[in-house]
Amino acid sequence: NAGVTQTPKFQVLKTGQSMTLQCAQDMNHNSMYWYRQDPGMGLRLIYYSASEGTTDKGEVPNGYNVSRLNKREFSLRLESAAPSQTSVYFCASRGRMGSPLHFGNGTRLTVT
């Protein structure tokens, strides 16, 4: 069972470059989420999509955009990367409200 798949696993960008992080889930979940994880700060919600066709801002949305391409896929885009966006990014999905989050294995992004 694949669950939540994130690509790429690692990425190095120069300041000002753009990139898109991809996430796909095969569990037919309605909701999908993007988090960033930084040392000593836990996971912070960037954006989420409660259902196909909707997206909403989380705690730390500045500098990011998202697209819910279809029910399976939810991408995160950095238009102009900054060193402050160096982090590990996790995608997660959830079925019905109250059910647990299922996380991918993360994308480690370094912006120099």
Please give the helix or strand (H or E) that residue 12 lies within, else none. Answer: strand 10-13
* Structure-block tokens of residue 97: 């409200």
Residue 43 touching another protein (CB under 8 A): yes
CA distances from residue 103 to 3, 6, 35 in whole angstroms, order as listed: 8, 9, 10
Closer CB to another protein, 72 or 102, in the complex = 102
Total interface residues for another protein by CB under 8 A? 22
Closer CB to another protein, 17 or 86, in the complex = 86
Closer CB to another protein, 48 or 111, in the complex = 48
Burial of 54 (0-12, 13-18, 19+ CB in 10 A): exposed
Rounded to 5 degrees, φ, ψ at 31 are -100, 140
Among 40, 53, 62, 96, contact with another protein (rule: CB under 8 A) = 40
Closer CB to another protein, 78 or 94, in the complex = 94
* Structure-block tokens of residue 104: 């991918």
Stretch that binds another protein, among 15-23, 44-52, 61-69, 70-78 (CB under 8 A): 44-52
Residue 66 touching another protein (CB under 8 A): no
Structural contact between residues 19 and 81, judged by C-beta atoms closer than 8 angstroms = yes
What is the closest distance, in whole angstroms, from the C-beta atom of residue 100 to another protein in the complex? Answer: 4
